[in-house]
Amino acid sequence: MTDHAINAPATKQASASLIYDPKVRSIFYQVLTVVIILVAGLWIAHNVSSNLARSNTATGFGFLAGRSGFDIGQSLISYTSDSTYGRAIVVGFLNTLMVAVTGIFTATIVGFIIGIGRLSKNWLIAKLCTVYVEIFRNIPPLLVIFFWYSGVLAVLPQPRDAINLPFSTFLSNRGLTFPATIWGAGAWMLPIAIIVAIVIAVVFRKWSMTRQMATGQQLPNGWISAAIIIGVPLLFFFAIGAPLTFDFPVEGRFNLSGGANIRPEFVALYLALSLYTAAFIAEIIRAGIRGVGKGQTEAAAALGVQPSKITRLVVVPQAFRIIIPPLTSQYLNLTKNSSLGVAIGFPELFSTGSTSLNQTGQAIEMITIMLTIYLSISIATSLFMNWFNAKMALVER
């Protein structure tokens, strides 16, 4: 920015150079922008109101309490066609969350394996992982969803000829049927037992670290923590008399009866999003691990740290600093891509939202609701990312 006023004799040229003054120009441009946006906004508002008046659409969010009248195949909370539009949207939102959480979980595991596999010194493993990544990165996610839905799941046998998997699990073109869990009395205490176990594990870890600092002796922390977290709830479970029974699915003449069922729409969407996102996560992991300087590993080796501990204590913590930000945005992408479920009729947020919109014609209200929900998810994610970045940033002078 050249500050003209400093060089120019202020008295004479003040008026002449007014249009060359960066400040004046800046204000002028901004006022111009505001005016353009205002005029466009008013014009659009006018058009919208006249369009709405012409189609006799009432505005407001009152329609949310009305009877929806459409069925939803899969829902986590009770829902019938007599439920309200508001509830339909909540069902959709919960389904979106369900796909997102399960998908993120699987994609992370598969992505880690593939990403580390690509760095393997074993030529065959590295090439196989490269092939996986190059295949999935270069085809649309929608195609992967259709691949599972119309290409694989739809050609599975009818329920009466269902493929019998271990543990009374059946795979058919109606999805995956598996034994339903029925929790007996006292089962509500189990989550509490799990939380208590986690607290004990954390306390143990703290104590073990203090002990290590004081005496230099190490305990197998990981194994002991795992034993606590799995063992304590398990003991508690048997102590209160194992209040768990299963409802096994039974093969009937035409259909499977009993058990719990996951519909093929969910299976297709879940598998597709997990496998598709895993390819991107693999690349992020690989870049993160490669991003840790070779000097770090060599220095650790020179200090006599064991190879397995080099990875765990030197490489991974530093790689995480590089990995987490893009990883979070991949998680966000997966969540947003779950809206593709609409193409195969999986009732997620976008799907139930657009159905409600088509039935009520409340375009502006419905789009506002959906926009708000999606934006809240992404704002929450970016807040987390900022927090994490601040926490993990290298502390420099």
* Residue 6 vs 185, nearer CB to other proteins: 6
CB of 259 to other proteins, least distance (A): 26
Residue 176 β-bridge partners:
171, 262
* Residue 266 vs 374, nearer CB to other proteins: 374
Amino acid at 327: L
Q: What is the 3-state secondary structure (H, E, C) of the chain?
A: CCCHHHHCCHHHHCCHHHHHCHHHHHHHHHHHHHHHHHHHHHHHHHHHHHHHHHCCCCCCCHHHHCECCCCCCCCCCCCCCCCEHHHHHHHHHHHHHHHHHHHHHHHHHHHHHHHHHHCCCCHHHHHHHHHHHHHHHCCCHHHHHHHHHHHHHCCCCCHHHCEEECCCEEEECCEEEECEEEECCCCCHHHHHHHHHHHHHHHHHHHHHHHHHHHCCCCCHHHHHHHHHHHHHHHHHHHCCCCEEEECCEECCCCEECCEEECHHHHHHHHHHHHHHHHHHHHHHHHHHHHCCHHHHHHHHHCCCCHHHHHHHHHHHHHHHHHHHHHHHHHHHHHHHHHHHHHHCCCCHHHHHHHHHHHHCCHHHHHHHHHHHHHHHHHHHHHHHHHHHHHHCCCCC
For residue 155, state whether it binds other proteins (rule: CB under 8 A): yes
CB of 245 to other proteins, least distance (A): 37
Site map for other proteins, 107-126, x if CB under 8 A? -------------xxxxxx-
When binding is defined by CB under 8 A, the residue of 18, 24, 39, 135 that contacts other proteins is 135
Amino acid at 139: I
* Residue 194 vs 373, nearer CB to other proteins: 373
* Residue 125 vs 305, nearer CB to other proteins: 125
For residue 227, state whether it binds other proteins (rule: CB under 8 A): no
For residue 143, state whether it binds other proteins (rule: CB under 8 A): yes
In angstroms, how far is the first alpha carbon of the chain from the final one?
Answer: 31
For residue 386, state whether it binds other proteins (rule: CB under 8 A): no
Interface of this chain with other proteins, residues 186 to 225, rule: CB under 8 A: none
* Residue 39 vs 379, nearer CB to other proteins: 379
CB of 276 to other proteins, least distance (A): 10
Residue 262 β-bridge partners:
176
For residue 33, state whether it binds other proteins (rule: CB under 8 A): yes
Site map for other proteins, 309-338, x if CB under 8 A? ---------------------------xx-
Compute the distance between CA of residue 86 and CA of residue 74 in angstroms, rounded to an integer. Answer: 16
Stretches 196-204, 228-236, 262-270, 357-365: which one binds other proteins (CB under 8 A)? 357-365
Stretches 71-79, 144-152, 204-212, 223-231: which one binds other proteins (CB under 8 A)? 144-152
* Residue 157 vs 241, nearer CB to other proteins: 157
When binding is defined by CB under 8 A, the residue of 73, 140, 191, 345 that contacts other proteins is 140
Burial of 98 (0-12, 13-18, 19+ CB in 10 A): middle
Stretches 60-68, 194-202, 307-315, 340-348: which one binds other proteins (CB under 8 A)? 340-348
For residue 37, state whether it binds other proteins (rule: CB under 8 A): yes
Interface of this chain with other proteins, residues 47 to 66, rule: CB under 8 A: 47-48, 50-52, 54
Stretches 27-35, 222-230, 295-303, 309-317: which one binds other proteins (CB under 8 A)? 27-35
* Residue 123 vs 188, nearer CB to other proteins: 123
For residue 298, state whether it binds other proteins (rule: CB under 8 A): no
Burial of 33 (0-12, 13-18, 19+ CB in 10 A): exposed
List of residues contacting other proteins (CB under 8 A): 1-2, 26, 29-30, 33-34, 37, 44, 47-48, 50-52, 54, 120-125, 128, 134-135, 137-143, 146-147, 150-152, 154-155, 336-337, 339-340, 342-343, 350, 354, 357, 363-364, 367, 370-371, 374-375, 377-379
